[in-house]
Amino acid sequence: MELDIRQIQEIIPHRFPFCLIDRVIDLRPNEKLTAIKNVSVNEQFFVGHFPEEKVMPGVLIIEAMAQAGCIYFYYSKNKQGKDLIYYLAKVSTKFHKPVIPGDQLKIEVTSVKLMNKAGFVATKAFVKDQLVAEAEIGFGIKET
């Protein structure tokens, strides 16, 4: 299954400039999700990080992985309606290479442990098949 930006925004509340997932290119609930974030030189964070040597902040790479994880968790737990899925914990994080303007982040999400109202996922971010970051992230659901 694939999701475009409109379908993504039906699941997560993030909007410009904080929606960090452009497209989901592969979604298999309870198995795997692959999402894309196109990193443009026009991103607001590049104004100050850093003007002479632009690098995507690591915290925003984690946020992109968390947003992809929210989408994966939503579909894997068959959630419907407007239940909010919250990023609760970063269990572990490793950064391997910088992400710069023009890069395309390919984010992969797999299950570590999924429960009814909470769960943990493993995420990896790649640029051109090179691992740039990885994190284990925890989520919880606030039912509405």
Q: Which of 14, 23, 32, 49 is the catalytic position? A: 49
Q: Write out the H or E segment, with its range, that includes residue 137.
A: strand 130-142
Does 14 qualify as catalytic in the annotation?
no
Angstrom distance (rounded) from CA 96 to CA 138: 21
Three-state secondary structure readout of the chain: CCECHHHHHHHCCCCCCCCCCCEEEEEECCCEEEEEEECCCCCHHHHCCCCCCCCCCHHHHHHHHHHHHHHHHHHHCCCCCCCEEEEEEEEEEEECCCCCCCCEEEEEEEEEEECCCEEEEEEEEEECCEEEEEEEEEEEEECC
| Catalytic annotation, residues | 49
